[in-house]
Amino acid sequence: MNYVIDKDSIRLFQADTFDPESILTSGQVFRFGKLENDCWWVATGSEYAIIESLGDKNYIIHTTNPDYFVRYFDLDTDYDAIIKRLNGIEVLRPALDYGRGVRMLKQVLPEVIINFIISANNNIPRIRKSVEKICERFGEKKDWGYAFPSIQSLSVASESDFAEFGCGYRSKYLVDTIARLCTEDILERLANADTVTSRSLLLSLKGVGPKVADCILLFGLGKFDVFPVDTWIARVYREDFGGKESNRERIAKWFVEKFAQDSGYCQQYLFYYKRKDIKLK
In this predicted model, what pLDDT tens digit does every residue of 93-119 receive, in sequence order? 999 999 999 999 999 999 999 999 999
pLDDT of residue 38: 87
The answer to whether domain 109-221 has CATH 1.10.340.30 is: yes
* Domain regions of the chain by residue span: 2-76, 109-221, 231-279
CA dist., res. 250 & res. 258, Å (int) = 12
pLDDT digit string, tens, across residues 5-52: 998 999 999 999 999 999 999 999 999 999 988 899 999 999 999 999
Phi and psi at 5, nearest 5°, equal -95, 125
The catalytic residue positions are 211
The letter for the amino acid at 114 is I
The per-residue DSSP string of 51-64 comes to EEEEETTEEEEE-S
Quote the CA–CA distance of 212 and 120 in Å, as a whole number. 7
Pick the CATH number of 2-76 from 3.40.640.10, 3.10.310.10, 3.40.50.10300, 3.30.310.260: 3.30.310.260
Q: What is the pLDDT of residues 2-11, one digit of tens each?
A: 999 998 999 9
pTM of the entire predicted model: 0.95
pLDDT of 130 > 90? The answer is yes
> Please, what is the average pLDDT of the chain?
96
